Amino acid sequence: MTLLLKLVLAPLLVVGSSLAGRRWGPSLTGLLVAMPVVAGPILLITFLEHGPAFVARAASASLLGLVSLAAFAVVFARVSRARSWPGTVLLGWLVCLSLDLALSFAPVPVWGALGLALVAAWAATRIMPPPGEAGPVTLPWWDLPARAVATAGLVVTLTAAAGRLGPDLTGVLAPFPTGTSVVAVFALAQGGPAAAAATMQGVLRGLGGFAAFCFLVAVLAEPIGGWAFVVATCGVLVWQFAYSCRSFGK
């Protein structure tokens, strides 16, 4: 079941987000891929293996990981104007990992971590470059399979490493931009910097729902156990659906 979650859930979301982006634009792709499809299974597996106290601490740390994810979005959008996708994603990962390592040692209570995540998302939207106009793109037949395979590879690699690192580092690494990196790289390679910036703006708009998920798991895991994940999933789905309707239903 654990391996199935790693190999199927995240790739399916990335493919679904990509298809939605083809219909409604890269900004919606970024919004959908910002859902905790990677962090959610990591935290659930952590709960099953280590118990509610462990996962509550990890989920609180995941809120700090959203600060790093917001920084990744800004770095990717800005650096993509001057570099090709390998250099852009590498620099974005280095910034994200550096912040993750620093934040994993920060003794921040869950309410403070929630505030930092929301402030980081708000601040990042203010310094993002304007997306501009993305040109028309001709997509090859292997586009969606390649996105799915790349996502699965990243998820398996990162979850295998993160599970051995304790609750704080495991939690702060859970939001690492795995699916986000895949859709961002494809957006940049196929649509240029404008598409990459639009995708990252969508990611930042989705961080509120991501933060709600992590916060609910952090505060509810010990009182109600596994039901915390049900409540948190409902919370993030309601958030993302409402935001999607408001932003893209006009």
Q: What is the DSSP string of 84-108?
A: -HHHHHHHHHHHHHHHHHHHTT---
pTM: 0.84
Can you give the residue range of the structural domain that contains 38? 2-248
Residue 71's pLDDT band (boundaries 50, 70, 90)?
very high
Please check whether residue 88 is in contact with residue 138, taking contact to mean a CB–CB distance below 8 angstroms: no
Per the listing, tokens 């959008």 go with 77
pLDDT higher than 70, residue 158: no
Q: Which pair of tokens denotes residue 69?
A: 């994810």
Q: How many CB atoms lie within 10 A of CB 47?
A: 22
Please check whether residue 116 is in contact with residue 108, taking contact to mean a CB–CB distance below 8 angstroms: yes
Name the percent of the chain lying above pLDDT 70: 84
Number of domains the chain contains: 1
pLDDT in tens, 180-238: 888 888 888 888 888 888 889 888 988 988 999 999 999 999 999 989 999 999 988 88
Residue 11's pLDDT band (boundaries 50, 70, 90)?
confident
Q: How far apart are CA 92 and CA 132, in angstroms?
A: 21
pLDDT in tens, 28-67: 777 777 778 777 777 887 788 788 999 999 999 999 999 9
Please check whether residue 118 is in contact with residue 208, taking contact to mean a CB–CB distance below 8 angstroms: yes
